[in-house]
Chain A
Amino acid sequence: MAKAKLTFSDVAITVNVPSGTRIIEISEKVGAGIIYGCREGDCGTCLTHIETGSEHLSEPSVLESKILKENLAGRHDRLACQCQVLSGEIKVRPA
């Protein structure tokens, strides 16, 4: 299965994950500072800054795009409870 490297720069931990993993599945286990509210793409609490590798993430869904827009998110901000890690190396930190 395809693998990706997901780095949480606030806690300096890189996790090797299978393609398709959502950031939310990992971030709490490693103690990264990303905070969740609804956990289903509705509240925008989990806004996360993608430092590098945003091209290796799944395209935002209609729902995620809407919430990102409402939160005036930058081009490199995503919802950690929604976006999936596909391949390559991705570095994230709380927005």
Chain B
Amino acid sequence: MDQTMRERTGGRPGVPAAASHGEPTGAVAVAQGVHWIGALDPDLRTFDVILRTANGTTYNAYAVRGRDGVAVIDTVKEDFTEAFLARLEQVARYDEITALVLTHLEPDHTGAVPELLRRAPQAHIYVSHRGLMVLRGLLKDDLEHRAYTAVDTGDTVSLGDCTLAFLCTPYVHWPDTQCVHVPERRLLFTCDLLGCHFCDGRLFNDRVGDFRFSFEYYFEHIMRPFKRHVAGALDLIEPLEIDLIAPGHGPILRAHPRQYIAQYRRLVDPRLRAEVGRDEKTLLIFYVSAYGATARMAQAIHDGASENPHVRVSLYDLQGGEVAPFVNLIEATDGLVFGTPTINGDAVRTIWDLLSGLVDIETRGKLGAAFGSYGWTGEAVRMVEERLRGLRMQVPEAGLRIKLHPTDAELEACRDFGRRLSGHLTGHLSGHLSGSAAGPVAPKEIDMAALG
């Protein structure tokens, strides 16, 4: 059994996957003049290393027929080229294809592009500006023989009686992602946005099984780190007239499509109001402590930081909670402090568990700091600081380490550490962390050396 097959059956060579609902035999009509020409991949269990799926996925590609031509929207993963071309051939001749639109150039949607272009060399390729460079990587020297255009929001291509209207929606989840609206048919192609890894031959959201868990799981792991960009995409999408959403994976959303957009909006917006005032910053202190030394430091840092009336400080013992809810807290906070003793030359496991959970959220630019008690080597604090920098957080204060239990003087140093952290949040110190929400004020000026 070859390597790709083994990957697809989730590392169980020879065990065929059971498939939920059969594959449609041909192209499937989706809207007036629009067909699904994608492929089903029921054996897939792990996608992009990080995502799991219990019944596979679909690679959705579409053909849009207008009076003056046919547009193909995306293709499929390379292994499925044959099925894709067979479906395409049922609804269009290759010489009728005038446009090939790529919503982003990830291999699961562009695997059949080279073969399609061999058969339909006249097809004009449309990608976003950021997609051009990836397109060059995909087609190499062949690109020079192709007609292609980089498009942006506001650009349109006419197929005679209908229009492809492009929306530049970068980073959902690749740099080059774009959506395509066909106003005359009230439908929207959304690339991976509003998609999910769910494989069911019945194709439409009102016919497949309940896939809500997949929809939200996909958002959590693919879109959530790009929330800001997803919000930007929703701003463009929400005003459009839409009766049907055609994503790149999973069910086609034809029954109440707006509810799926609304659900994305809910997932992008904070779940619950954090109940903090507009002029208030939040600072979370997480710690683990075996013998109480790091806990006492945490308390003192909390007390010092809390002296600042514009900073709401919270203290959490990581041993008292599950990691996942803390990830939600962290997503909405301005500053984060981690306390850990050094145990066997490392920070404790719970801290690493929480830090590794932060890949799903945007941490860039938040204030970060570390502290902890130690016995003789004390490397944990530095290791945590490195990780915080790796998460693109700003770490303006060198981590605070104290040997064994803190003395009164050392507790005062902890309080002072807390005061300085709050100061960074409210701008009383070098202050650059407080700029982002402040609107059009004069830029804060700092020296490069102050950045550490």
Contacts and interface: CB of A to CB of B under 8 A. Distances in A.
Interface in A3-58: 5, 7-9, 11-18, 21, 26, 28-31, 33, 35, 37, 43-45, 47
The CB with the most chain A CB atoms within 10 A, among B130, B133, B136, is that of: B133
A62 interface: no
Contacts of A31: 364-366, 392, 394, 433, 436
B132 interface: yes
Interface stretch (B72-80, B196-204, B369-377, B440-448): B440-448
Contact of B451 (A26, A70, A72): A26
A81 interface: no
Contacts of A37: 175
Contact of B130 (A7, A11, A13, A44): A44
B229 to A, nearest CB: 10
Nearest to B394: A31
B150 interface: yes
B444 A12 contact: yes
A18 B447 CA distance: 10
Nearest to B365: A31
Given A13-B443, A31-B394, A71 B133 contact: yes
Contacts of A71: 129-130, 132-133
Interface string B229-242: 00000000000000
Contacts of B175: 35, 37, 45
B438 interface: yes
Contacts of A13: 432, 435, 443-446
A67 interface: yes
Contacts of A30: 365, 394, 432, 446, 451
A14 B133 contact: no
Nearest to A28: B392
Contacts of A12: 435-436, 438, 440-444
A15 B132 contact: no
The CB with the most chain B CB atoms within 10 A, among A33, A44, A45, A67, is that of: A44
A15 B452 CA distance: 13
A72 B435 CA distance: 32
A68 B388 CA distance: 32
Interface string B312-356: 000000000000000000000000000000000000000000000
Contacts of B433: 31
B435 A11 contact: yes
A9 B443 contact: yes
B439 to A, nearest CB: 9
B424 to A, nearest CB: 12
A82 to B, nearest CB: 14
A14 B446 contact: yes
A93 to B, nearest CB: 12
A45 B175 CA distance: 7
Given A26-B451, A67-B133, A16 B444 contact: no
B364 A15 contact: no
B441 A72 contact: no
Nearest to B449: A16
Interface string B362-394: 001110000000000000000000000000101
Given A28-B392, A31-B436, A44-B133, A16 B441 contact: no
A25 B442 CA distance: 23
A44 B451 CA distance: 26
A52 to B, nearest CB: 12
A45 B133 CA distance: 9
A31 B364 CA distance: 6
Contacts of A11: 365, 432, 435-436
A16 B448 contact: yes
A90 B180 CA distance: 36
A70 B133 contact: yes
The CB with the most chain B CB atoms within 10 A, among A11, A12, A16, A67, is that of: A12
B174 to A, nearest CB: 10
Given A12-B438, A21-B448, A31-B392, A72 B443 contact: no
Contact of B129 (A9, A18, A26, A72): A72
Contacts of B451: 15, 26, 29-30
A45 B131 CA distance: 10
Contacts of A17: 448
A15 B446 contact: yes
A70 B448 contact: no
Contacts of B444: 12-14
The CB with the most chain A CB atoms within 10 A, among B364, B366, B442, is that of: B364
Contact of B443 (A7, A21, A26, A35): A7
Nearest to B434: A12
Given A11-B432, A13-B445, 10 more contacts: A8-B443, A12-B440, A12-B442, A31-B364, A31-B365, A44-B130, A44-B133, A45-B130, A70-B136, A72-B150
3 cross-chain pairs, A with B, having the tightest CB-CB distances, nearest first: A31-B365, A29-B451, A14-B443
